[in-house]
Structure 1
Amino acid sequence: MNFAAKRIETLLFIGLLTLLGGSVAYGEEIYPSKPIKVVVPFPPGGATDILTRAVTEKLAVRLGQPVVIENKPGGGANIGASAVAHATPDGYTILMGSMGSHSAAISYYKTLTYNLRADLTPISRVGTIGITVLVSADNPAKNLAELISNVRAHPGDFTCGSSGTGGQIHLTCEMFKTAANLNILHIPYKGTAMLIPDLITGRVSMTLDNIPPYLQLIQTGKVKALAVTMLERSPLLPDVPTLAESGFPGFDSVAAYSFFVPTGTPKPIIDRLNKEVNAVLLDPELKLKMREQGIEIQGSTPEAVSAYLDNEITKWAKVIKEGKIAQE
């Protein structure tokens, strides 16, 4: 084949890839050529589920294949993470990872069936969700100081509910207990949906949970938000102070989420997914829709996710050690 013919052949091949929407050729298969599964390691209805479904709906359009959600809750988000870590590394199984829960698990659990850093490879940051201190509308505390005073006056009588043992919500509660030197019993639930009714009725005294599932309840006065755990106030709750403002400087717990694939997934597939995810996250309509629900979406490079994970692993290891928090 002469040079001119070879150049024409190359240009035709590039044109074919363009017509295929930038699909990545892997072996003899064009990726993606079948539905993709995204594992959410929490039950349906929670903030992570809300975020995942909104993003993957648009991602499916860009990839030209259905994206199916599979909820695999339990084990502090580690059952779902382990399932993806041990899946075939072909780009067809993706984890919506909870950066806080997975990072904390390394120090919290005695044994894990996967290695976060070795078995999972980041694709991109997807978004962050604020966490707030919540009590029932009937709770007499009007602010965080009054809540703390009431807990100290009745040690052992107060409970803190979470969406599951060992996850970020549980450990944020433990972080708060240590910072304020409080005697509070942790009560784990099988997801936020099961916790909410008991919080409304006061059966569980409080929770430090993601904002989105509670937003309407806050707005309608069924529960009260006393503080947020991020370093900055939530745009959705501008009148609710941060824990840092409330006497706990440096207190910082924000639920951050990223997509991961099993380690060994070919780099061209990782690059394609990163490109398409970041394109989806620039959608103004999606940004507005998520912001209205307390979710800030933002993309990133895989390297940025890795650096954030390293910081989270260090932070939660310190919280668990200083609080002498043992696996329940």
Structure 2
Amino acid sequence: MQRRNFLKKSGLTTVGLLSAPVLTSCKTEDRKEVSTIVQASLKPIVIATWNVPNSTAKAWQVLEKGGNALDAVEAGVKMEEADVNNQSVGKGGRPDRDGNVTLDACIMDSKGNCGAVVYMQNITHAVSVARKVMEDTPHVMLAGKGAEQFAYEKGFPKENLLTEKSKTEWLEWKKEAKYAPVINIENHDTIGMLAIDENGDISGACTTSGMAYKMAGRVGDSPVIGSGLFVDNEIGGATATGQGEEIVKTVGSFLVVELIRQGRSPQEACKEAVNRIIKNDPNYKDIQVGYIAINKNGETGGYCIHPGFSYRVYSEKGHDNIESNSYLS
């Protein structure tokens, strides 16, 4: 089921990995306080924003064979980058106001190494270019034409990322040129993924084509280490989706990991990070922000502002889509 169709349906129930100990509460009135998964030393495991079963399955294939977490998250999010039906990531992404599809991505390994690309055009697999930045340059981030040229030098093919479907929608949008992102669709379907391999090492990746019809040059949180993604191999990892500007303001993913360091569960840490945004932004009802997180033991959590955000978890216990708890009901 495509994520867009999933988000239009409201009758889905919260799903957890059925292992002991299980959900702390199943009562409807307690739903906002449910801790999604509590499982000690569960590895390998992969978690990703949104209902992306193909991505988590691909990452799990790597982990199940004894592969490392870095390879797993790269392989996983590449599935969405190549899916032209996903209009918020990679090829087929919605363009900016000028009709250009621009991609942002980052990746981070268990040793604290990281790489990112921002405002890159004509290259489908932004996450793989980000990994090359991490591994083959002394830098962390490359932008625009520089990132694109670097990708060509590394053998990435030039591709037209604007599909006919996205082009047609953009031309229709131009008739009014009204910027009104739709929560959980244009606001926004970034793909973030975290994994723990059999050695207990954690890595993460995040990739997006950004908000539909954004101003040319706009960059959100997704490629910014500490905002859209952060990993500390001693503690855990976090990644974000939604209104990137608000996530950047609170350095959201770093905040989640630091809260876990202080003793919060991933669920509690994600909730507190969302609460910080709500506290600071009086217009929070007009935006969506969601976080997912994992700690060293394989305990996961997620929290968001509006209902409709979900995340996928794949481990030896199963492959489940979990509807995130939310501030608003």
Same fold, TM exceeding 0.5? Answer: no
Indicate the structure with greater helix content.
Answer: 1
Instruction: Report the TM-score when normalising by structure 1.
Output: 0.24
Instruction: Report the TM-score when normalising by structure 2.
Output: 0.24
Q: Max radius of gyration: which structure?
A: 1
